[in-house]
Amino acid sequence: MAKMLRTVTLAEKILFKNGSKIIANNWALQLQQSRSLNVHEHISYTLLSKAGIQVPNFGVAKSGKEAKEIATKLNVKDMAVKAQVLTGGRGKGHFKNGLKSGVRMIYSPEDAEKDVSQMIGQLLVTKQTGEAGMICNAVMVTERKYPRKEYYFAVMMERAFNGPVVIASSQGGVNIEEVAEENPDAILYHPIDIMKGLSESEGEAIASKVGLADKKCEIAKMLCDMYNLFIEKDALLIEINPYAEDTCGNYFALDAKFRFDDNASFRQKELFALRDFTQEDPKEVAAAKFDLNYIALDGNIGCMVNGAGLAMATCDIITLHGGQPANFLDVGGGATADAVKEAFKIITSDPKVQALLVNIFGGIMRCDIIAEGIIAATKELKLKVPIICRLQGTNVDEAKVLIANSGMRILPIDCLDEASRLAVKLSNIITMARSAKLDVQFEMPL
């Protein structure tokens, strides 16, 4: 499985703010949770370059010595070193060793060696990472461009348009979000018929509308190359911001973000092999090995559910009763007892978890298999948090017998509303006890 992204791209923010104004039937745009592969900037540069879209010359260094060699080969005075960390706000971030900014301007190979040596192996802290930061294992060394004019172009899959849409603006750069909010007319949306693709004439029309009529053939080719790459690589998003004109009148993609559909991993093996596990939550990586869909959240009630819809409904009902889910975890329809045990390990590895709510509706999934996994995990992990178990469906009676005979203090509840209410109540008890520095434990053996 690829990385589950919890951040929202610029393209999604733009659509969320302004989409309803341009969709004739006024459908409500909703941000969808989806599993997708996010790649480093240098990979985006490589993909764009291979597709015929110009990018600045660059190289990737994993040591100060390599950075110096790359800077020497670039043979230019103005360069930038950019930490390859999968987070936004790198330029305004800082490393835990005191080095300021994950994007630094340099003017010599010696500068490159010095700065990169202080970046590699360090944690970069940004608004998105929080204080924990994210490890920097590579740095992109690139020639620096001085943009005279910046534009914004994106191709993304958007269900509100029943397919891909091109988003474009003559006001690209770091302030594109403000442009979308304060001057929505400056954002152009062009839905694409996925059966026909993007034509040159459509590309030329988009170029003219963003003020590039004198370069419409060049921009149309870039947009068609961008769209073809989007389709070829099963992308969900290709976002170039800024697409800039330099002082010599040449156009370059100075920054880009890609997302790829996780469902296409079987035919994009080379691309998905580029996944950087060091940039991901270890719990999500462990879950992916067992085909578990796991997303860490900020609450204290661990959830194990089968089916994404039921999992989201479970999170909702916990919130309705005043609690906060600690995770989203969908074990799917064909989980084994071992997968269930692994799910418990992942959930309880989060120190915030103070109660566990299991909500299974057994269709394909058998309730007795779930029960076996719960019992095995409870014994092996020696859990000391309350487990509330709501099972319905296939072999539910057998599951109840297994739980009753297990000798474990697992609380079976038939009603989801009651189960959620109890999970919230027990988690609150533990929270209050811990705030009073009292040790409350729910011993599993009876």
Q: Is 365 annotated as a binding residue?
A: yes
DSSP state of 167: E
Q: Is 90 annotated as a binding residue?
A: yes
- Tell the residue number behind the tokens 């057998």, with chain if given: 398
Sign for the pseudo-dihedral over CA of 369, 370, 375, 381: positive
Q: Is 97 annotated as a binding residue?
A: no
- Which tokens is 110 given? 């010696």
Residue pair 134/123 in contact (Cβ under 8 Å)? The answer is yes
CA 237 to chain centre: 12
- 152 in catalytic set: yes
Q: Is 298 annotated as a binding residue?
A: no
Angle at 146 between CA 145 and CA 151, to 5 degrees: 95
Q: Is 82 annotated as a binding residue?
A: yes
Spatial neighbors of 222 by CB under 8 A, at least 6 apart, are: 52, 53, 153, 203, 243, 251
The kind and range of the H/E element at 430 are: helix 416-435
CA 399 to chain centre: 36
Among 12, 41, 202, 239, the one annotated catalytic: 239
Q: Is 363 annotated as a binding residue?
A: yes
The residue among 235, 157, 219, 238 whose CA lies nearest residue 191 is: 157
Spatial distance between the Cα atoms of 274 and 422, rounded to a whole number of angstroms: 44
Strands annotated E in 198-261: 235-245, 251-253, 256-261
* Count of C-beta atoms within a 10 Å radius of residue 346: 24
Among 45, 152, 189, 294, the one annotated catalytic: 152
Spatial distance between the Cα atoms of 259 and 156, rounded to a whole number of angstroms: 9
Strands annotated E in 380-427: 387-393, 410-412
Burial label, 94 (beta-carbon count in 10 A; 0-12, 13-18, 19+): middle
Spatial neighbors of 299 by CB under 8 A, at least 6 apart, are: 318, 323, 324, 325, 326, 352
Sign for the pseudo-dihedral over CA of 128, 133, 139, 142: positive
**Would you tell me the crossing angle of helices 41-50 and 216-232 to the nearest 10 degrees?**
110
Q: Is 91 annotated as a binding residue?
A: yes
Burial label, 429 (beta-carbon count in 10 A; 0-12, 13-18, 19+): middle
Binding residues for Mg(2+): 241, 255
Q: List residues forming the annotated binding site for substrate.
A: 306, 363-365
The binding site for ATP consists of: 82, 89-91
Annotated binding site: 82, 89-91, 241, 255, 306, 363-365
Tell me which residues are annotated as active site: 152, 239
